[in-house]
Amino acid sequence: MNYYIDITLIQDAEANLGFLWEKVYQQVHLALVENKTEENTSQIGLSIPEYGSSMFPLGSKMRLFSSNEQLLRQLDIGKWLNRLTDYVHFTSVRAVPGSVEQFAVFKRIRFDGNAERLARRRAKRKGESFEQALKHYEGYKQPQTDLPFINLKSLSDGQWFKLFIKKELVDSSELGTFSCYGLSQRATVPWF
């Protein structure tokens, strides 16, 4: 990962950081989908430089990385963020500083969800009624976490979901692919 673009979210009285993350990340996701590989993966990774901020758990900045400058130019992030120009600033493509000594993995963490969602899935999968499936999950408690998340709306089924993101710092770079959310279970991005 040799090149990057910084995207800064600019909140005001009408738009807080949670709302802006939702809107901006949705557009970044669409841009990554539009530029995905034949394997439905992305060659562009995401970093959240202010992850864990006391101001807002995800901070106010995201960074998009690629090993190839042309991939970031081709992404044309300005086109995707055009309707949000009052709330976002992004840089041109820049070279990653040569002094980077640490790397990060930003990964999606999935939780099973609530009992109603699980029951809907079970009813569909097993041919049961919703009530039968719901009875199966009596007493189920949704796992608690303090991981930061972004509320997103699925474009395939229109359902809202929470995209939980976990950061892990590592000492060496690892090549790999990213999802169309810019996340990976093992591929790293420079941490600076």
Q: Which of 178, 179, 191 is nearest to 50 (CA)?
A: 191
**CA distances (Å), origin 164, targets 78, 86, 98, 144, 173:** 26, 26, 31, 12, 23
Catalytic residue among 29, 51, 88, 104: 29
3-state secondary structure of 69: helix
Burial 101-122 (b: 16+ CB within 10 A, else e): eebbbbbeeeeebebeebbeeb
29 is catalytic: yes
Show the beta-strand stretches assigned E in the chain: 3-9, 45-47, 61-66, 88-90, 94-95, 103-109, 149-153, 160-170, 189-190
Q: How far apart are the first and last CA of the chain?
A: 13
**Catalytic center residues:** 29
